[in-house]
Amino acid sequence: MSALEHSIASLPAWLVILAIQVLVIAVPASLAYAGLYMWRGNPARARKVQPEFAAPHHVRREVRFALLAALIFAVNGVLMLVFIYQGWALVYDRIADYGWVYWAFSLAATIVLHDAYFYWTHRLLHHRRLFTTLHHLHHESHSPSPWAAYAFSPGESVVQAAFLTLLIFVLPVHLTVVYLFMAHMIIRNVVGHSGFELFPRFVPGHRLFGHLTTVTHHDMHHSARQPGNYGLYFTWWDRLMGTEHSDYMETVTRVMATPPAEDAKADTPGGTTV
């Protein structure tokens, strides 16, 4: 064991979890913000869903609350660790116990279940009795930046963190499934709040891939005055429940039809600081 590995191993588990949680939120959000908002050569700059950009003080607010969410997620991670060590959770460490087929199934099931959990809790948070207390802060990002992905109020952070805690009591999952799910969740959330349409043109109308939520899909949720487009990864709950914006296809087609970046007049606020 190297000196660095020994130093890390000697740290309290809660501190390691906190550091990891901060990094897995801060690194993707920072990279996306730097590439999309600070780099003048951003090839997606012509695909800004909304023409306006968030003011610097709004981005600073997003950063603060995203880091607070990381702290709350870390506390939840410590609780999960306690449940696992006590043998109460259905987390296993040998893939051979269930096999690779089940491993793949459990990863897909976790993503699908989370999408359903997010849709219904998200829709519930828009209830007038909960919106102001729990969800209004997230919607202060009318034109979100990547940091808005986890700019939650403490109460909403608890709601969103609870999914994994509940999952490990009802579905056997390998630790690598938990890690891959978290990576998928964070990357998709950061992309969805990026403010630039990053999906290929064929996605919205594709028979299979058309069920994926594009950046425009969630961006419309933030910019529209009327609620809708509650889904996180997939559009099927919105379409089944009639909550998808009626002009979604028209809007995403228009955004994706924007001329190539080198010919576009739109520009990013290069060098903008938070």
Q: What is the pLDDT of residues 142-196, one digit of tens each?
A: 999 999 999 999 999 999 999 999 999 999 999 999 999 999 999 999 999 999 9
Residue that is written with structure tokens 């913000």 in the block = 33
The per-residue pLDDT for range 32-68, each reduced to its tens digit, is 999 999 988 888 888 999 988 888 999 999 999 999 9
Compute the Cα dihedral for 162, 164, 223, 195 and give only its sign: positive
Please tell me the number of Cα atoms within 13 Å of 111 on its side-chain side. Answer: 20
pLDDT band at 18 (very low <50, low <70, confident <90, very high): confident
Q: Residue range 90-105: average pLDDT? A: 95
- What is the predicted pLDDT for the residue at 267? 47
Spell out a b/e string for 108-131, using b for 16 or more CB atoms within 10 Å of the CB, else e: ebbbebbbbbbbebbbebbeeebe
H or E segment to which residue 154 belongs: helix 154-167
Q: Which two tokens stand for residue 233?
A: 């990864």
Rounded Cα–Cα distance for residues 238 and 235 (Å): 5
* Amino acid code (one letter) for 147: W
Q: What span, in angstroms and rounded, lies between the C-alpha atoms of 185 and 182?
A: 5
Contacts of 55 by beta carbon, 8 Å cutoff, 6+ apart: none
